[in-house]
Amino acid sequence: MKKNKFILYSLFFILFCFSIIIFLWQQIYLAKNPYDKELKTFTIEKGEGLKEVSVNLEKEGIIKSDFLFNLYAFFSKKATKLQAGKYQLSSSMTIPEIIGKFVKGEVIKEKITIVEGWNLNDIKNALNEKFNIQSSKLNLSVKDLPEFREKFDFLKELPNSASLEGFLFPDTYEFYFNAKEEEILEKILLNFDKKLNSQLREEIKKQSKTIFEIIIMASLIEKEVRTMEDKKLVSGILWKRLKIGMPLQVDATITYLTGKKNTNVSIEETKIDSPYNTYKYFGLPLGPICNPGLDSILAAIYPTESDYLFYLSTPEGKTIFSKTLLEHNISRAKYLQ
């Protein structure tokens, strides 16, 4: 009789344990709502531990139980491996799937667009806004960036005083929410390296120019005119001015110095003592004044020859070309006064 009771109690105990195991398995490996298609943005703040994360997940309705979340994380030895950042989650995900995402750091990707004509300050502001990066690398000259200079040939030829201005190729990029500044800049420089292909580099070399000279010229063109046709014509004019020893007199170099957003340049401003002032000093400025797009780079490499020596842009953005100073002054009186 006692033996039968023991067997019966044992069976009940085994059945009870089996039920507990089945229950836990269902709670952990089955999602709260398998048919939920809504994605929620969930953030793990820096310094938050497992307890805070699990409580917040339950509050957001993503998981059934913070206790079971903690239980699985503890026994899977992943409790201390959760990475901070923004994640896209839904209640159709299981606890192992969610923890796996946290451990791998599969945070939401952020898009950042570098606009053609942006300078380093514009890019700094964008990086700070998107990734909370108080930029330090962009404040340095290339001689203080050996990790980039060793990797990219086009940076090796730059003077030590040069910065990354001009070489951060305008495009739309995707990065994880917690991306580091080095990772971001390297990807942008890789894009420049790709866009300036071997054919273009060979043509630059054939013209006995340097990549640095081309990018400086492209940056001037980028800020001066809009269409590809105008860019190539202005390129031809500026290279011609250099050849005949005429000052470039590019208004954009003055606004680069003053930080003004409009193109109105005063006589007084043209007297600013700076190697970027193309009214005061002959030749190309000390470095690029912005980060030019591919059209401006191509225009700098493949200029259109013409009889023009002067140009101006109307308030509407139309470019007026002139062959002589007299024609240019007449155009200035007509369109700019």
Domain boundary among 139, 160, 195: 195
Whether residue 279 sits in one domain with residue 302: yes
Q: 170 lies in which domain range?
A: 109-195
Residue 71: CATH number of its domain = 3.30.1490.480
**Listed residues 72, 104, 136: the one ending a domain:** 104
- E strands, 36-171, in order: 40-44, 85-89, 109-113
Question: Which helix (H) or strand (E) covers residue 73, if one does?
Answer: helix 66-75
Residue 186 inside a domain? The answer is: yes
How many structural domains is the chain composed of? 3
Q: How long, in residues, is the chain? A: 337
- Which of the 8 DSSP states describes residue 22? H
Nearest to 186 by CA among 210, 150, 133: 150
Q: Which residue has the tokens 């013209």?
A: 207
Q: What share of the chain is helix, strand, coil (3-state, %, to 5)?
A: 50, 10, 40
Predicted pLDDT at 17? 62
Residue 298 within a domain:
yes
131 and 188 belong to one structural domain? yes
Burial code (b: 16+ CB inside 10 Å, e: under 16) for 223-258 equals: bbbeeeebbbbbbbbbbbbbeeeeebbbbbbbbbbe
Gap between the terminal Cα atoms of the chain: 115
Domain for residue 19, yes or no?
no
Confidence at residue 2, expressed as pLDDT on a 0 to 100 scale: 57
Q: What is the pLDDT of residue 100?
A: 94
- Rounded alpha-carbon distances, angstroms, from residue 283 to 143, 219, 230, 279: 24, 14, 21, 10
Asked if residue 99 belongs to a domain, the reply is yes
Is residue 169 a contact partner of residue 288, using CB atoms and an 8 Å limit? no
Q: Which residues lie closer than 8 Å to 241 by C-beta, 6 or more apart?
A: 247, 248, 249, 309
H helices of 159-318, in order, are: 181-195, 198-206, 211-224, 228-244, 251-258, 294-301
Q: Is residue 144 domain-resident?
A: yes
Establish if 191 belongs to a structural domain: yes
Q: In this structure, how many other beta carbons lie within 10 angstroms of the beta carbon of residue 211?
A: 23
Residues 118 and 91 in one domain: no
Gap between the Cα atoms of 64 and 54, Å rounded = 10
Is residue 295 exposed (0-12), middle (13-18) or buried (19+ Cβ within 10 Å)?
Answer: middle
Where does a domain end: 46, 75, 104?
104
Within a domain: residue 315?
no
Query: 228 lies in a domain?
Result: yes
CB 304 within 8 A of CB 236: yes
What would the two tokens of residue 325 be?
A: 């100073």
Q: For tokens 């003077």, what's the residue?
A: 159
Q: What are the pLDDT tens digits along the chain (337 aa)?
A: 656 666 665 666 676 665 566 665 566 668 888 888 899 999 999 899 999 999 999 999 999 989 989 988 998 999 999 999 889 999 999 999 999 999 998 888 889 999 999 999 999 999 998 888 887 899 999 999 999 999 999 999 999 999 999 999 999 999 987 788 999 999 999 999 999 999 999 999 999 999 999 999 999 999 999 999 999 999 999 999 999 999 999 999 999 999 887 778 899 999 999 999 999 999 999 999 999 999 999 999 999 999 999 999 988 889 999 999 999 999 989 888 7
Q: Angle at Cα 325 formed by Cα 319 and Cα 328, nearest 5°?
A: 30
pLDDT in tens, 28-81: 668 888 888 899 999 999 899 999 999 999 999 999 989 989 988 998 999 999
Using DSSP's 3-state secondary structure scheme, residue 320 falls into: strand
